[in-house]
Amino acid sequence: MRVLSGIQPTGRFHWGNYFGAIRQYIELQDEDESYYFIANLHALTTVRDPKVLAGYTLDAAIDLLALGLDPQRATLFVQSDVPEISELCWLLLTGAPMGLLERCHAYKDKVARGLPADAGLFTYPVLMAADILAYDSDVVPVGEDQVQHIEVCRDLAGSFNHHFGQTFTLPKAKLLDHSAKVPGTDGEKMSKSYNNTLELFEDAKAQRKKIMRITTDSRPMDEPKEPEGDHLFQLYSLVAAEAEREEMAAMYRRGGFGYGEVKKALADAAERYFAEARARRLELESDHDKVRAILADGAARARKKAGEVLLRSKRACGLIPT
């Protein structure tokens, strides 16, 4: 089984990225082959400051390594270091139906809000399809918001195969049911664009303050409450041990507690949960050369595989004589 996923360096990673996707990368890195990349070409559709983009890209690599991605077991690289992807993207674009792309939510939402969209955003899912197909990926671990894009990838691959003969492997999305959609501090999906994130490596004091400001309902203190639908409880469940989670659920059902107590428990559990990764991050932060060498090695490995698939696709559609 070949696993692949990408993550955009559009800011610092948050709990949604970790519990929805990165945690799966780490669990799956022992599969036959796994490829994880930092999607800087995608990020270029929103981050237009070169220094900021370069900084976020390196930070993303450091974060992934600190969180447990092991370059001995998984191939870690930066998207733009594999130029084969952009070429493959063009092959797919030539047959991508406008209607299919018009239905994709990132583009559709922007247009619905009356904002101007550019061709980069419109064709974004096709570049993503190229990312996936270039490695003959079977499985793509992602959060729920990316499922539509993987369906688009399957459609594009299927119609290419239909037209030019069997060329691409059709991938499947892999979701974690309990954290495929991690809520933010306001209960909506956690997302940088909603300004409701808890970042993985933000200053512990600043994070505690953010947690204390999480919006809650106006339930009277003594009233029992179902824990399952509550976003504060959902966030706590991500970082607490099983026994702590059970205890908290029982407290919700009994009633007679204040949300302040839950928030404090959440901040404590989060600090414990990420303590080791935080320490590893500090070490990596002082050795950028090592991180750059890991990325260069990853890119070389990724290019080898992507080059094979590109050659196969160019042959299939008549760009290279068979």
Residues forming the active site: 110, 189, 192
Collapsed DSSP state (helix, strand, coil) of residue 69: coil
Concatenated DSSP letters of 212-242: HT-------TTS---STT-HHHHHHHHHS-H
- In angstroms, the CA 271 to CA 243 distance is 17
Q: How far is the CB of 236 from ligand TYM (least distance, A)?
A: 16
291, two tokens: 């991180």
- From the CB of 181, what's the least distance to ligand TYM, in Å? 5
Q: How far is the CB of 130 from ligand TYM (least distance, A)?
A: 9
Q: At its nearest, how many Å lie between ligand TYM and the CB of residue 144?
A: 6
- 78, β-bridge pairs: 38
- Comparing CB distances to ligand TYM, the nearer of 22 and 294 is 22
**Which of 20, 187 has the CB closer to ligand TYM?**
20
- Using CB under 6 A, list all residues that contact ligand TYM: 5-8, 16-17, 20-21, 39, 42, 128, 131-132, 140, 142-143, 145-146, 149, 180-182, 189-191
Helix axes 288-316, 50-66, angle to 10 degrees: 100
Q: Would you say 42 or 305 has its CB closer to ligand TYM? A: 42
Q: In terms of Cα–Cα distance, which of 133, 28, 40 is closest to 70?
A: 28
Task: From residue 146, give the alpha-carbon distance in Å to each of 17, 94, 100, 286.
Answer: 12, 23, 15, 33
Minimum CB distance to ligand TYM, residue 247 (Å): 25
Cite the beta strand spans of the chain per DSSP E.
Answer: 2-7, 33-38, 75-78, 139-141, 172-174
Would you report the helix, strand and coil content of the chain in percent, each value rounded to 5?
A: 60, 10, 35
By beta-carbon proximity to ligand TYM, the closer residue of 96 and 142 is 142
Kindly state the smallest distance separating residue 61's Cβ from ligand TYM, in Å.
Answer: 14
Contacts for 312 with CB less than 8 Å, ≥ 6 apart: 167
Nearer to ligand TYM, 6 or 227 (CB): 6
Q: How far is CA 80 from the centre of its chain?
A: 17
Nearest to 261 by CA among 294, 233, 226: 233
d(CA 98, CA 86): 19
Cβ at position 95, least distance to ligand TYM in Å: 19
Residue 6 token pair: 């990408």
Q: How far apart are CA 74 and CA 72, in angstroms?
A: 6
**Closer CB to ligand TYM, residue 182 or residue 267?**
182
Of 191 and 216, which has the nearer Cβ to ligand TYM? 191
